A and B are shown apart, each in its own frame.
Chain A
């Protein structure tokens, strides 16, 4: 009898704990994300946490699926109708949250608004710059006229959230943040936003696509890694992103949570100083005196530095498996990935030989810089590479700094070798090639993040040809050739491609995304899978 009561109580308690309160049944979802949302204005600050929120409230013409492949969004189809004209067919009968219809006029309005948002710290205008004018053919057809042939326009437009001409005419960024005009066509409607704290959303019952499972979403910002992890372990939140790798092995064994991981599009690499032929600012001989030439301009030295790095050790020991050693910009499956271009194997002996051939049998001294607050384990990776280079004979001083200090110094070409990362938002190879290794040219928008100032006319020619090629297979071949040139010339030293990590309660399922976005519509109850 006694046992019976006990069992009944136990059953009731466990039912309470696991059943009644589980998110699957309550239709409420609490998420904690590690990065700040700086604005709800989808055109104000181009930053992936902001864009994740934008794609919950708004929609784009073209969407990326979980593997960063394009799929129809507010546009049902698109095709080039002339070398410099793209035609997009819009989805009919789509309505904004306030009931206004979505039409071609709204697309034209949006493209006009993007570059006009005042005080933008990082403008979305890079995605609309190629467009010279927008032609409204009929309410569901729109044509984009570009200055020159521009094959990646659909990729670019996947980053631009569509607004309503009527609602958002003259709407300021503050109006979005206050919620007044946070009105889109997306799967969720705005409820409440407290900057730096949380965003509340509710399901858009009239959504044109697959309706999200959750009636109410509490999207919290919890910047502290331990707090976020503890939150999901304690059951305070149902879902977190940016799981710290230091806790990864423990969490994988823990029954209370489930881990989801997905190969990302963000490559971590070392940039090298290609600018100073007369001697790099942070390279000296072992006697501390500056060298009269820059050893990094010698391909053999660059190769040696790359071969000395044990990428597998970094991936397993520093990243706890949350990284794939990389030999090029993009992972397999991405447009422009070169099949067979593997990550260089660690070969300290070969590296020593190459270094001796180049005339540095005893190596030299170098400072390796990097941020300590930006990428997963950035400070630790820099230290680990410092170990490997020092063992090669290249005595390395490690200088890990806060991102803001670091990036301004790197941008002034004060550093000799430094670790940075690059997330290829468009999911294809022209993006990293153009930004990271194309010769620096402000007017063309080339090499905007080429902080080492690598320059190779052969590569630039291939890239320009690719950027004007509308035929997909031909373009991919050109991009692959350009990538191969960059990698064989060791323009940069690729380290690894990050895996994105999420943790959630075991009764949830996540369609994990390559582009790092953490969104409520990607989370569903696990039962629904079966």
Chain B
């Protein structure tokens, strides 16, 4: 705690920060940037996100278009020039899919699933958690027991069962992850909201006879945000890993539209034969993505946690 205090002073002394009293955003940014690792994580994540978003324009091949794949180019080593005329920098998988393009598109799915499921789960979980905290009594009990029930299940097992029921597909994976993850958000929000709702500003709002909806969303929710953001960041990384696991087990995405997990799974069978690149590079991409998000998440937790502040 003392280090944080010591470090704020030089940061405040920097010329950019001096002119006015620091705004909350500016302070947040400068505190976040204190950790070089977190900054690195952010930069890497932004690059990964850009690659994922612009994959259809920058990837040499559309790995999901079967007409562009050629089985004769299958399992080529990194750096080989294929039949289509361009170089497979990271090699090809067993179907002749360019690994570089495959990873770019795979990142797209991973991020879509990770961020998408985190946002939806956050909305659902936060609403329910808030409701539980504000309404109390029986509502609280019912929601929180549901949360307990959900958390007592290993998430991979629950996701496997849901997907076995729903079938394959990106949207089904998102849905399964939402069902698995909302409970984390609900529990976090409820804890914070329970504390916040006894604060004076809520009492004041209640005295003004503001509608409940307004109190919850305009007063309570913004004050519960910091822990929520931290949980959300961590859960994105978890969701990406979970999606990769499900795809690895053959339950996630269709085989012609591989995500990182499925790419790893495809190559796994060739590991013994020394064709490392089919699994290795998607694995690295997955690792880097998750680590960069976690680095950001760690620093966010430090910055946003009031107890760690002066």
Contact = CB atoms under 8 A, between A and B. Distances in A.
Given A379-B255, A398-B255, A387 B273 contact: no
Contacts of B254: 398-400
Contacts of B66: 383, 386-387, 390-391, 396, 398
Interface in A379-411: 379-380, 383-384, 386-387, 390-391, 395-400
A397 B269 contact: no
A397 B72 CA distance: 20
B48 interface: no
A387 B95 contact: yes
A387 B67 contact: yes
Contacts of B271: 226
Interface residues of B, number: 21
Contact of B272 (A226, A379, A390, A397): A226
A317 B273 contact: no
B273 A383 contact: no
Given A379-B255, A383-B95, A247 B273 contact: yes
Given A246-B269, A398-B255, A384 B95 contact: yes
B94 interface: yes
B72 A246 contact: no
A225 B269 contact: yes
B67 A390 contact: yes
B69 interface: yes
A65 to B, nearest CB: 34
A244 interface: yes
A372 interface: yes
Contacts of B273: 246-247, 249-250
B255 A383 contact: yes
B269 A226 contact: yes
Give the interface SS of chain A, mostly helix, strand, loop or mixed.
helix
A230 B272 contact: yes
A430 interface: no
B31 to A, nearest CB: 48
B280 interface: no
Contacts of B272: 226, 229-230, 246-247, 250
> Which residue among B65, B66, B271 has the maximum number of chain A CB atoms within 10 Å of its CB?
B66
Contacts of B70: 387
A250 B274 contact: yes
Contacts of A20: none
B250 A372 contact: yes
A380 B72 contact: no
Interface string B268-310: 0111111000000000000000000000000000000000000
B256 A380 contact: no
A313 interface: yes
A470 interface: no
B94 A380 contact: yes
Nearest to A387: B66
Contacts of A249: 273
A271 interface: no
B46 interface: no
Nearest to A399: B254
Contacts of A246: 94, 269-270, 272-273
A270 interface: no
A398 B274 CA distance: 28
Interface string B77-116: 0000000000000000011100000000000000000000
A412 to B, nearest CB: 16
A75 interface: no
Given A313-B72, A387-B70, A244 B255 contact: no
A226 B269 CA distance: 8
B154 to A, nearest CB: 22
A314 B269 CA distance: 18
A318 interface: yes
A466 to B, nearest CB: 38
A226 B265 CA distance: 13
B256 A397 contact: yes
Nearest to B269: A246
B74 interface: yes
B47 interface: no
Q: Which of B94, B270, B271 has the most CB of A within 10 A?
A: B94
B250 to A, nearest CB: 7
Given A383-B66, A383-B256, A400-B255, A317 B269 contact: no
A384 B71 contact: yes
Interface string A229-264: 110000000000000101101100000000000000
Nearest to B74: A317
A379 B256 CA distance: 10
A230 to B, nearest CB: 7
A229 B273 CA distance: 11
B72 A317 contact: yes
Contact of A318 (B94, B256, B269): B94
B279 to A, nearest CB: 12
B104 to A, nearest CB: 20
Contacts of B274: 250
A380 B66 CA distance: 12
27 contacts: A226-B269, A226-B272, A229-B272, A230-B272, A246-B270, A247-B269, A247-B272, A250-B272, A317-B71, A317-B72, A317-B74, A318-B71, A379-B255, A383-B255, A383-B256, A384-B71, A386-B66, A387-B69, A387-B70, A387-B71, A387-B96, A390-B66, A396-B66, A398-B66, A398-B254, A398-B255, A399-B254
Given A226-B272, A383-B256, A387-B95, 20 more contacts: A229-B272, A246-B94, A246-B272, A247-B272, A249-B273, A250-B272, A250-B273, A313-B71, A314-B71, A317-B71, A317-B72, A317-B74, A380-B94, A383-B66, A387-B70, A387-B71, A387-B96, A390-B66, A397-B256, A399-B254
Interface of A: 225-226, 229-230, 244, 246-247, 249-250, 310, 313-314, 317-318, 372, 379-380, 383-384, 386-387, 390-391, 395-400
10 closest residue pairs by CB, A with B:
A390-B66, A250-B273, A390-B67, A246-B269, A384-B71, A387-B66, A398-B256, A386-B66, A317-B71, A246-B270
